[in-house]
Amino acid sequence: MTQDEQKRAAAEAAIKHVPIGCIIGVGTGSTANYFIDELAKIKHKINGAVASSDATAKRLKSHGIEVIDLNNVDDLPVYVDGADEITEHLHMIKGGGGALTREKIVAAVAKKFICITDETKLVNILGNFPLPIEVIPMARSYVAREITLLGGQPALRQNFITDNGNIILDVHNLQILNPVELETKLNQITGIVTNGLFARRAADILLLGTVEGVKTMS
Ligand code: 5RP
């Protein structure tokens, strides 16, 4: 299986985890897009979806799936999304597509986070993929200095503004041995809206597309 076929297979496998008659949280990115295409096939069995980005909302609507404001949702049993890196402990780096803030909010509300990736995303140590951090524009230089003190090398993502009107710093050269600790430290830096470490709220299940088929990790 190619990388794209692995993503599609993981997305297909996630459909089995979608409860009937519920609202589903939907992530952002190429793997999440495969999931949306699969979700469209069973759209009559769900009550709508909460989108983690404008792009996902647009794709859901194009398939005729109702997009519901998270503020009007009491119960979100499942959130399905991809990741840029994930460990066997199901800690993740996310935000390659720049949607990390809304992704983290929807993941916080959801009872179960189902991560869908191809096998290239499974790593022993997080940090080879630059860690995305969403920052209020006026805090850019201050946050960059604070991140440098933590040992990272921040780079401004060029020509990119998030759905929330903010910038992204992609942080290079981090070997993230303790993701929960680093996520907690980054949460305390004023001016950071969200960091792309999803460790305090890790995934519950990983559906990993591999050359041999989809493996389930939990
Ligand atoms: C977007 C994300 C995506 O889940 C992540 O970038 C993976 O994307 P893809 O499925 O295209 O590899 O966090 O903000």
**Do residues 218 and 204 lie in contact, with contact meaning Cβ atoms separated by under 8 Å?**
yes
Length of the chain measured in residues: 218
* pLDDT computed for residue 184 by the predictor: 98
Exposure on the CB side of residue 83, measured as CA atoms within 13 A: 36
* Ligand 1 binding residues, C-beta < 6 A: 27-31, 81-84, 94-100, 103
The 10s digit of each residue's pLDDT in 150-166 is 999 999 999 999 999 99
5 is catalytic: no
Q: Which atom of ligand 1 is nearest to the CA of 196?
A: 13
The 10s digit of each residue's pLDDT in 177-209 is 999 999 999 999 999 999 999 999 999 999 999
Residue 51 assigned to a binding site:
no
Question: Which residue spans within the chain are E strands per DSSP?
Answer: 23-26, 48-51, 78-81, 85-86, 92-93, 112-118, 131-135, 153-156, 167-172, 192-195, 197-198, 205-210, 213-217
Is the reported ipTM for this assembly greater than 0.90?
yes
Nearest to 96 by CA among 3, 162, 24: 162
N- to C-terminal Cα separation, the chain? 23
* pLDDT computed for residue 114 by the predictor: 98
Dihedral (CA of 51, 169, 119, 109) sign: negative
Instruction: Supply the residue whose CA is at minimum distance from atom 6 of ligand 1.
Output: 96
**Do residues 77 and 113 lie in contact, with contact meaning Cβ atoms separated by under 8 Å?**
no
> Strands 153-156 and 167-172: what pairing?
antiparallel
Alpha-carbon span 73 to 50, nearest angstrom: 9
**Do residues 197 and 91 lie in contact, with contact meaning Cβ atoms separated by under 8 Å?**
yes
Alpha helices in 15-157 (DSSP H): 30-41, 54-62, 100-109, 140-149
Using a 10 angstrom Cβ sphere, with 0-12 exposed, 13-18 middle and 19 or more buried, the burial of residue 191 is middle
Place of tokens 């909460």: 50
* pLDDT computed for residue 185 by the predictor: 97
* pLDDT computed for residue 6 by the predictor: 98
Q: Which of 12, 85, 103, 183 is catalytic?
A: 103
User: Could you read off the pLDDT tens digit of each residue along the chain, which spans 218 residues?
Assistant: 999 999 999 999 999 999 999 999 999 999 999 999 999 999 999 999 999 999 999 999 999 999 999 999 999 999 999 999 999 999 999 999 999 999 999 999 999 999 999 999 999 999 999 999 999 999 999 999 999 999 999 999 999 999 999 999 999 999 899 999 999 999 999 999 999 999 999 999 999 999 999 999 99
Residue 163 assigned to a binding site:
no
Place of tokens 């190619």: 2
